[in-house]
Amino acid sequence: AFNYHAPPQQQDPDAPKLSTYAYGRDYHKVLRKRLKPLIAFIHEQYGEVALRAFVDSAPVLEKAWAERAGIGWRGKHTNVIRQGTGSWFFLCELITDLELESDPPPTDHCGTCRRCIDA
């Protein structure tokens, strides 16, 4: 999960509202580039292992995988939420044949909160 904050560009309050991430560079390219150091690190540590990176480019259940990997829990708005960060990040995947341990899935901290629904 990578934060991809792009500062809002819209100054005209009467103009249509666009999602903030749409103002920045194409997040697919940005995140794929950000995965390269991780791929290099894995190859340095473990040698040649099979790796494949995805940024919204494969039919995978990334939200479910993020939960099972311990990244966060699914909020009422259906996005994954990380405690202390919220849901402002993009998921990308690095699929490998390397045996890795995952963190335990976090507890759902939403309770009766509806901030993401009411926003």
Catalytic residue among 56, 97, 103, 108: 56
- H helices within 13-55, ranges in order? 27-46
Q: Is the residue at 12 inside a domain?
A: no
The torsion angles phi and psi of 84, rounded to 5 degrees, stand at 90, -15
Give dist(CA 86, CA 88) in Å, integer: 6
- Cα dist from 28 to 7, 37, 48, 53, 67, whole Å: 17, 16, 25, 11, 21
pLDDT at 8: 65
Q: In terms of residues, how long is the chain?
A: 119
pLDDT at 78: 93
Q: Is the residue at 67 inside a domain?
A: yes
pLDDT at 103: 82
pLDDT at 81: 93
Domain count of the chain?
1
Model-level pTM? Answer: 0.78
Q: Is the residue at 37 inside a domain?
A: yes
Q: Is the residue at 5 inside a domain?
A: no
- pLDDT, one tens digit for every residue, the chain (119 residues): 777 666 667 778 888 877 777 777 888 998 999 999 999 999 999 998 999 999 988 999 999 999 988 899 999 999 999 988 888 889 999 999 998 887 888 888 899 999 888 87
- Residue 57 lies in domain: 20-118
Give dist(CA 26, CA 110) in Å, integer: 31
Give dist(CA 96, CA 112) in Å, integer: 38
Tell me, yes or no, if 56 is annotated catalytic: yes
Q: Is the residue at 2 inside a domain?
A: no
Q: Is the residue at 4 inside a domain?
A: no
- Give the type of residue at 36: K
Q: Is the residue at 1 inside a domain?
A: no
Residue 64 in contact with residue 102, Cβ under 8 Å? no
Q: Is the residue at 66 inside a domain?
A: yes
86: its two tokens = 């919220």
